[in-house]
Structure 1
Amino acid sequence: MAHPQLSIVIPAYNESARIESTLERVMQCVETQDWDAEVLVVDDGSRDDTPAIVKRWMELHPRLHLIQNPGNRGKGYSVRNGLLQAAGDIVMFTDADLSAPMEEADRLLAALEAGADVAIGSRWMDRTRQTIHQPLYRQFFGRCFNWITRTVMGLPFKDTQCGFKAFKRPAAQVIFRLQRIERWGFDPEILFIARKLRYSVVEVPVTWGHDERSRMSYLKDGMKMLEEMAVIRGNSIAGRYDKDIAAMKDTSKMVTAPVEHGTKPAVSELPH
């Protein structure tokens, strides 16, 4: 069977309360939009029924797949694990709460079709598109974190943390092989890497609604993300990304990904 045009990766950890409704909405959207798509749920060591629910849905949907991490490794690890195994020409990830409705993927796909290598959803470019607003304290911490990210990382984007991003396959295969951060701070890192490699990154306003069940703690996880940003800057200053890029080029000038669900491995050239 030919590889799909689109791969949708959903990182999941203890999502038994909502994974079924998420899969229902995603699979319905795929059918309604007539996308040639596969859906990959990456289970991050869940201790509940998340894997069992996904397996049950797989019986009805041949292009739904379950990838299981070796224990709880973090969202960044999950996204990387899923995208590097994805078989689509376009690969994207979305949060399990679908804060950005799956239908909004059309906006990311349009940006890629127009020439971007990476398209990232944004909650802040057009606030009128927010259907359910965050509590004020979350908005405050989110804005502070984003300001620090823009300043420390040199990223020009209004929203680095929206869990709704899409990539052309060649860009994803390179960016995610260079990724080192495995938890919440991976978003600024992959954008930092993309800009370092001079990929075209376009920010796209998307409809978005806050989910009160969000597990992210802006105090605890926010401090960890600040620590991880320091690590990213340290890696850059120490030349670790440059060394990794050089090693990838020296090996074969090609990047090959094992694809469990496709009919052939992913092969992508490094940018010149």
Structure 2
Amino acid sequence: MTSEPTLSIIIPAYNERARIGPALEQVLACIQQKKWPAEVIVVNDGSKDGTADIVRAIASKNSIIRMIENPSNCGKGYSVRNGMLHAAGDILMFTDADLSAPIEEAERLFAAIRDGADIAIGSRWLDRGRQTKHQPFYRQMFGRCFNAVTRFVMGLPFADTQCGFKAFRRDVAYTVFQLQRIERWGFDPELLFIAIKRGYSIREVPVTWGHDERSRLSYLKDGLKMLEELVYIRWNAMTGVYSRDVSAFQPEVPVPKS
């Protein structure tokens, strides 16, 4: 394995004591098997359940793992941005700690970027035959409805905007994530909206995916918040937030909103 990583795998984690250990074991096994020159960055989002201790113990025995601590519980969007703007790879990806999409599927994202895409996004809906465990019907309906609203409001031509399995070329990630403003669940459509506005190419890739019953997403509370955030994204676009020049900026993580 080379001294400098060419792949960075970012895993946001909030109270993931039950899942983070097995997840890191799977990620490490995959990296070893495929001989990926990779680093793994776990972003601890103010966990209170010992998640950080588990990560530290595993990292002490595996030099490719490091942990970044958020100043408090700042949200998934903030956590992913924090990891991305501290990553050193040429290709940067993030995945959920539940590994609903097996980490081996990341090779499909990497291949799309090596083939010329600036961004590759995993999709649960392009090939439903790849779903190993389906969501309950009400979750499927909510997800599809939210995606339809997102496509309409944001003009995003993707079958699945919310899958937590996305990869970026490093320079593209540094630009997109410096412009990101949504810090919780609704950050995925914002990333894609910014990328399209900046002229980046995005390839949607079908991935194997299995629903995890322990998902913390509240489809009523968080769904309403995400709809509010879609309006916020359109406002940011109208006021030029996403058009500013970031080429002269060094990667930095904004202070979380109070």
TM range (shorter): over 0.9
Contact residue 109 and residue 166 of structure 2 kept, 8 A: yes
- In structure 2, the gaps of 5 or more residues are 254-258
**Counterpart of 1:257 in 2: which secondary structure?**
coil
Give, in angstroms, the shift of residue 241 of structure 1: 1.8
Contact residue 80 and residue 176 of structure 1 kept, 8 A: yes
- Verify: 1:254 aligned to 2:248, yes or no: yes
Once superposed, which parts of structure 1, at least 4 consecutive aligned residues long, lie more than 6 Å away? none
Tell me the percent identity: 64
Residue in 1 that maps onto 2:231? 230
Contact residue 173 and residue 255 of structure 1 kept, 8 A: no
Matched ranges for 1:1-272 at <5 A: 2-242=3-243, 245-246=244-245, 248=246, 253-257=247-251
Distance in 2 of aligned mates of 1:154 and 1:148: 9
**Counterpart of 2:184 in 1: which secondary structure?**
coil
**Counterpart of 1:91 in 2: which secondary structure?**
strand
Give, in angstroms, the shift of residue 18 of structure 1: 1.0
Give, in angstroms, the shift of residue 59 of structure 1: 1.2
Distance in 1 of aligned mates of 2:10 and 2:106: 12
Cα-to-partner distance string for 1:69-111 (whole Å, 9 max, x where unaligned)? 0000000000000000001011000000000000000100110
Q: Which amino acid aligns with 1:68?
A: E
Q: Which amino acid aligns with 1:135?
A: P
> TM-score with structure 1 length normalisation?
0.91
Cα-to-partner distance string for 1:207-236 (whole Å, 9 max, x where unaligned)? 000000000011111111000111001111
Distance in 2 of aligned mates of 1:163 and 1:153: 19
Cα-to-partner distance string for 1:106-130 (whole Å, 9 max, x where unaligned)? 1001100110000000000000000
Residue in 2 that maps onto 1:270? none
> TM-score with structure 2 length normalisation?
0.95
Change (3 A) 1:143 1:226: same
Contact residue 111 and residue 119 of structure 1 kept, 8 A: yes
**Counterpart of 1:199 in 2: which secondary structure?**
coil
Contact residue 85 and residue 177 of structure 2 kept, 8 A: yes
Distance in 1 of aligned mates of 2:195 and 2:187: 12
Residue in 1 that maps onto 2:256? none
Distance in 1 of aligned mates of 2:4 and 2:219: 39
**Counterpart of 1:254 in 2: which secondary structure?**
coil
Distance in 2 of aligned mates of 1:113 and 1:63: 22
Between the two proteins, the alignment pairs up a number of residues equal to: 252
Q: Which amino acid aligns with 1:102?
A: I
Distance in 1 of aligned mates of 2:112 and 2:17: 33
Cα-to-partner distance string for 1:123-169 (whole Å, 9 max, x where unaligned)? 00000000000000000000000000000000000000000000000
